[in-house]
Structure 1
Amino acid sequence: MHGNSSAAERLKNLLHELKQVDGSEVLVIQDDLDITCGIVIQTRVQKLACEQWGENLTLDFTHGTNNLGYHLGSFVATGPIGRGIPVLDFLALNETADIMTEIFEFFKRTNPTTWENIQTFVIDKHFVEWKVLERCFPDMKVLLCQFHALTYWKRLLGRKFGLKPAQRDVAQRCFAKMMYSKTEASYLRGYEELSAFAKDGHSSVLSYFDKNWGRCCTMWANYARNAYFSAGNTTTNRIESNWNLLKRLLGKETSIDRMVASLLAQQEGVTNQPSTL
């Protein structure tokens, strides 16, 4: 780990103390140069929450939580009153397939029976997360956050195809119709509208959709997506709400040890809420 040596030493002591707590799990991932690439934390209470409500988990990363540039990620379950409950927290220097695989396999080892009860994950359209999840959890379904899907499509229409505002609105409306379709027939009507739009000089839009969205429509279109249990999570809003709370506690340029200490304090605050456990 790079950066302030005293902060690194305090973090080392903090993680050592956590490992002494009954039921807590800590993994430190290091590369061949002994650089810390990742840290994974799961407390006993997080294990219990995952056991009770882990059929659907939301996965997301956030940035800007510490002065060393580590990305902070979590698995978040949905509690009985609809509140997001972190059941695994991890830091990663980079969101690479190797680091993600180590994190997910560690989670499986520390939750040897619970992980097999997971039915779905909700993520944003992050290709690495998607593929590593499918490889590590082959019997689970990966679903896309619909808010991120709509936002990404809208942003793409604005910069990639040279469309005028009115044309972008048409393509955006077609995508939304497909997303919120309750039946396959309704989805196909939205697709037919996009196809008709493409024939008017915009074939690249349809080609891009077919390659990048049509093949995975069961992950984001309601007619297929609703066949899978999602605990009501059509977006990653619950996990992002947790990020916002944590960032308000941290401020800017927080040392790595203080960030982890604040993360553990937030975990305790969430799990101590009435009706959480």
Structure 2
Amino acid sequence: MTYARTPDANTSHRDEFKSLAHRRDRTELWDYFVKNWDECCEMWVMAYRVGLPHFGNHTNNRVESLFGKLKRYLKGHLTMRTSLKVLLAYQRRKEEEYTAKVEMPGTLRDVTYWEQMNIALGMTTRWVAAAIKTQYDVA
């Protein structure tokens, strides 16, 4: 159902799931689905999310998104050594992108903040950084 491209396909998959969930007069799974998932299908069924900005990330789980990105580089025929090199190169590239973003000239800095707070300030707005600082001050 998650990857249904049209509302009709979603309905078809939903009906199939309903018939499977009602086997042997057991309805607990179907009742759970209707109560918790059926009413909010606009949030998780692809057919209803087509017009939303998703920036190429169609999952609601960032770990699965990362695995999808890694699969672009990792192939089944690669040796363990080559796979490890690919993973380390990916990590190095991401670290360099992060460093360039955080330490880029012109990023916001505040002399009263310590380094971690300036990193947060460079990635967010002054308001968010101030909210984070108050939490650190309380702790």
Q: Which TM-score applies when normalising by structure 1?
A: 0.24
Higher relative contact order (CA 8 A, sep 6+): 1
Structure with bigger strand share is 1
Q: Which has the larger radius of gyration?
A: 2
Q: Which TM-score applies when normalising by structure 2?
A: 0.44
